[in-house]
Amino acid sequence: MRFIFIVQGEGRGHMTQAIAMYQILTAKGHEVTDIVIGSSDRRKVPHYVSEQINSKIHALASPNFVTDAKGKSINIWKTILRNALKSNSFVKSMRQLDALVQAQKPDVVLNFYDFLGGVWHGLHRPALKFVVVGHQYLIAHPDFPFAKNSGMGKLLLKLGTAITAWGAHEHIALSFRELPAMEQKPEIKIWPPILREQLTKLKPSNGDYFLAYLVNPGYGEELLRFAEAHPDIQIQAFWDQKGKPDPWQPMPNLVFFQLNGDLFLQKMAECRALVSTAGFEAICEAMYLGKPALMVPVEGQYEQACNALDGEIAGAGLAGSSFDIQELIVFMNKAGTKKNYEFHLWYSKRDALVEVWLYELSQGVSRVKQLQA
């Protein structure tokens, strides 16, 4: 089968999921002709994506989050206004996307939670299979834990998720833990995380440093303050901060690296624990490697508040409100270090689920072609 991917460019989670899916599909003889990544002025496509994907990569303007002046919290209303003002550029992107699909004639388009991709499919309804992939689609499950005290956040999460999946034939809902199938909604398939092949080849060890991942560079100031106050705690961090050298070591116990997929995984395999904003993918990688995590939701991003709760339930570590590594140290001393066997058992079922999905998908593609004939 021929595939085109559409990938949200916010953070690294959706892009690493796309890399992992690319590895799975091409290893099985399928073709991924093009990768469309939703970009913005705030974020560019990281080099590690093009290094691990041989398909042609297209960066198209797509709706994205707007942060505060410090590059830290998400401002929902400014996000809505800024994206509304850029609607003309998004219309142009949809035309480019549609022209690409018309030229390549894929059998399947996979959308990794990109808003542009959802709107494009909802309006154009091409004769192909449209499948969406992401942890967010798990919100339809009755066991999904919604964070409290944010009715507007919950509403916007549901609305945004629906937009990305407008007219989708299937939803692949990624989960930290095994959950019962949704028989009343068979189009929603519950899968373990889609992790990159490189991760499974690493041999974890216990280093002397904590690894930090900052999806928004504004959290760097918070980490700097903590490192200055605790010179005995070693920290190595990854961020996406323009204008800084790579690496940048502002003090003896703290060093920052620009985003680098392979280096990040290697550092995670060797660290004591992970301190991260509560993105789904980084937490899953830490769980696979047996590294406890302090999960700090990005301010104003309701989805990450839900992720932190769900991660706690799944045994990933501790949900926190700040990058206070001492909280994680106390948690680790109480909980001890142990391998998450339930997570590894759940993850081991991925390949079988992929095989069934590809078979059923091929049958659906055949039916679409028969109707076109």
List domains and CATH numbers for the chain: 2-194+349-372 (3.40.50.2000), 198-338 (3.40.50.2000)
pLDDT, one tens digit per residue, over 219-229 is 888 899 999 99
Cα distance between residue 137 and residue 117, in whole Å: 15
pLDDT in the model for residue 235: 97
pLDDT in the model for residue 292: 94
pLDDT in the model for residue 261: 80
pLDDT in the model for residue 34: 95
Q: Are 175 and 192 in contact (CB under 8 A)?
A: yes
pLDDT in the model for residue 241: 80
pLDDT in the model for residue 248: 94
Tell me the CA distances in angstroms from 316 to 15, 41, 273, 347, one per residue in order. 22, 33, 11, 14
Which is nearest to 277 in space by CA: 9, 8, 11?
A: 11
pLDDT in the model for residue 40: 63
Positions in the chain short of pLDDT 50: none
Tell me the CA distances in angstroms from 243 to 64, 73, 247, one per residue in order. 21, 20, 12
Longest Cα–Cα distance of the chain, Å, equals: 69
pLDDT in the model for residue 36: 94
Predicted TM-score (pTM) of the model is 0.88
Tell me the CA distances in angstroms from 220 to 30, 189, 235, 255, one per residue in order. 41, 37, 12, 11
